[in-house]
Amino acid sequence: RARDFGATADGSPYLAMDALEGRSLHAWKQALRTLPWAVTWTLIDQVLAGLAHAHARRIIHGDLKPSNIMLDPRDGVEPLRVYVLDLGLAWLLTDHVDPRLVGEKLEAPAMPLGGGTPGWLAPEQIRHATPHVGPPTDLYALGCILFELLSDREVFEGTTDQILRAHRDLPPPPPSLKPGVPEGVAPFTQKMLAKRPWHRFRFAADARAAWNAFRPVGALHWAPSRSYERIQREGVARRTPPGPSDVPTRHLAPGILALRPCPLVGRERERAVLIEVVERVVKLDGPAHRLLVLEGEAGVGKSRLAEWLCEHVHEHGLMAPLRARYQEVPSPADGLRGAILAQYNLLGQPRELIEAALLNEWEVSKTDDDGRTWVAATAQWLRPPAPGETGAIGPAGKRFVVDDPAVAHAIVRHAFMHVSPGRPLCVWLDDIHLASQATHDGLVALHRDLPTMPILFMATARAEALAADPEATERLARLCAALTTVRLHIAPLDRDQTRRLLQSTLPLSPGAEEIAVDRSHGNPLFALQLVHAWAGGGHLRLQGGLYTVDPEALGGSAVTTAGLWEERLKNIGGGFRGAAYAAAALGTDVDIESLRQLLLSLPRRRQE
What average pLDDT does the structure give for the chain? 86
pLDDT reported for residue 442:
96
Contact status, residue 80 vs residue 221, Cβ threshold 8 Å: yes
Contact status, residue 80 vs residue 73, Cβ threshold 8 Å: yes
What average pLDDT does range 98-102 have in this prediction? Answer: 54
Give strand pairing partners of 290. 456, 484
Q: How far apart are CA 5 and CA 166, in angstroms?
A: 40
What average pLDDT does range 57-63 have in this prediction? Answer: 91
Reported as a single tens digit per residue, the pLDDT across 157-210 is 999 999 999 999 999 999 999 999 999 999 999 999 999 999 999 999 999 999
Query: By C-alpha distance, which of 72, 90, 84 is closest to 44?
Result: 84
Query: By C-alpha distance, which of 131, 100, 569 is closest to 345?
Result: 131
What average pLDDT does range 487-509 have in this prediction? Answer: 93
pTM over 0.75: yes
Q: Residue 141 — pLDDT band, cuts 50, 70, 90?
A: very high
Contact status, residue 145 vs residue 25, Cβ threshold 8 Å: yes
For residue 17, pLDDT over 50 is answered with yes
Q: How far apart are CA 544 and CA 509, in angstroms?
A: 10
Q: Residue 42 — pLDDT band, cuts 50, 70, 90?
A: very high
CATH class of the 495-570 domain in this structure? mainly alpha
Q: What is the CA radius of gyration of the chain?
A: 26
pLDDT reported for residue 601:
75
Q: Which residue has the higher pLDDT, 256 or 537?
A: 537
CATH class of the 20-233 domain in this structure? mainly alpha
Helix (H, G, I), strand (E, B) or coil at 83: strand
Please state the domain extents for the chain: 20-233, 268-489, 495-570, 577-607
Q: How far apart are CA 139 and CA 402, in angstroms?
A: 37
For residue 563, pLDDT over 70 is answered with no
Contact status, residue 25 vs residue 67, Cβ threshold 8 Å: yes
Q: Which CATH superfamily is domain 268-489 in?
A: P-loop containing nucleotide triphosphate hydrolases (3.40.50.300)
Q: Residue 115 — pLDDT band, cuts 50, 70, 90?
A: low
Reported as a single tens digit per residue, the pLDDT across 389-403 is 776 799 999 988 888
For residue 306, pLDDT over 80 is answered with yes
Contact status, residue 454 vs residue 417, Cβ threshold 8 Å: no
Q: Which range, of 67-76, 146-155, 320-329, 407-416, averages the lowest pLDDT? A: 67-76
